[in-house]
Amino acid sequence: MGIRAIVVGVVLAVAGVGCSAPDDATVVSVAASLGPAFEELQKAYERANPESTIELNIAGSVTLAEQIIAGAPVDVLALADMASMDRALGSVDTTGPAITFASNSMVIGVPRGNPAAVTSLSDFARSELFLGACAIPVPCGVYARQVFDAAGVVPDLDTQEADVRALVVKLDSGDLDAAIVYATDVSALSGIDGVATGVDVIAEYPIVDVTGTPDSVRFVEFVLSAEGQSILGDFGFGAP
């Protein structure tokens, strides 16, 4: 395939976060892979608390950490790895420690029907395929490197994306033959199939109440509750 262009930049959308939120809204910053599940959590919470408004800010974990470091307002923070959480919390005071509230697994995502016949991680060394992963230090990129390292595979990647949503879009459109994504991404889209990696790498998701307002406290409690965990399970997330 010749020399390939590898996209490694992480886009940091820092300015203006939460500016459109109502003054009394609780801003919940959420990692991209959690987006659909938290949209359902938001609806369920607001149904149970009609006087409350939850404003979701969905982006990559690294981007969210940079936003907080830059002073963006946030009441609750839910990320895809503890490294990003530790970086974010180095610049703010919180009401308590971050708590792991969900888990995920890593799979090989392929377009529906698997036209390139990808069967294992060893296929990531095939130069004729168009292959992707997230960039480091994005959590899905860190987890992907753990997957490759555990399998002893040196991947021949064509693209390294700034968040998992970009990989999913390219898989869904057929622009990539395979990519390392979260299992929840595969279950969320009919245009993507999953192939097992054969290694055990688990993504762990931490959440923290930043401001300690009544709604931020209640929302975190709701995420950790049986109902909240059931909603997360419906979207394919495992127990912490």
Residue 190's pLDDT band (boundaries 50, 70, 90)? confident
Provide, rounded to the nearest whole percent, the portion of the chain with pLDDT above 90: 84
Distance CA 234, CA 227 (A): 11
Q: 198 with 108, same domain?
A: yes
pLDDT at 102 over 80: yes
The CATH number covering residue 136 comes to 3.40.190.290
Average per-residue pLDDT in the chain?
A: 90
Q: 59 with 37, same domain?
A: yes
Residue 4's pLDDT band (boundaries 50, 70, 90)? very low
pLDDT at 83 over 60: yes
> Is residue 195 situated within a structural domain?
yes
Q: 58 with 68, same domain?
A: yes
Q: What is the reported pTM?
A: 0.87
Distance CA 218, CA 211 (A): 12
Distance CA 179, CA 199 (A): 15
pLDDT at 210 over 70: yes
Instruction: Please work out, in degrees rounded to the nearest 5, the angle formed at the alpha carbon of residue 186 by the alpha carbons of 103 and 122.
Output: 90
Q: 192 with 77, same domain?
A: no
Q: Compute the average pLDDT of residues 195-199.
A: 97
pLDDT at 16 over 50: no
> Is residue 227 situated within a structural domain?
yes
Q: Name the maximum alpha-carbon separation found in the chain.
A: 59
Neighbour-count burial of 173, counting CB atoms closer than 10 A to its CB (0-12 exposed, 13-18 middle, 19+ buried)? exposed
> Is residue 213 situated within a structural domain?
yes
Number of domains in the chain: 2
> Is residue 47 situated within a structural domain?
yes
Q: Are 25 and 51 in contact (CB under 8 A)?
A: no
> Is residue 198 situated within a structural domain?
yes
* Beta bridge pairs of residue 132: 159, 179
Q: 153 with 230, same domain?
A: no
pLDDT in tens, 90-99: 988 898 999 9
Q: 114 with 176, same domain?
A: yes
Q: Are 78 and 203 in contact (CB under 8 A)?
A: no
Q: What share of the chain is helix, strand, coil (3-state, %, to 5)?
A: 35, 20, 40
Q: In this structure, what token pair is assigned to residue 56?
A: 């979701």
pLDDT in tens, 127-186: 999 999 999 999 999 999 999 999 999 999 999 998 898 999 999 999 999 999 999 999
Domain limits for position 228: 26-102+204-234
Q: 97 with 215, same domain?
A: yes
Q: In this structure, what token pair is assigned to residue 62?
A: 């690294």
- Residue 31 sits at φ, ψ, to 5 deg, of -60, 150
Non-local CB neighbours of 218 within 8 Å, separated by 6+ positions: 45, 49, 52
Residue 189's pLDDT band (boundaries 50, 70, 90)? confident
Block residue for tokens 């659909």 = 36
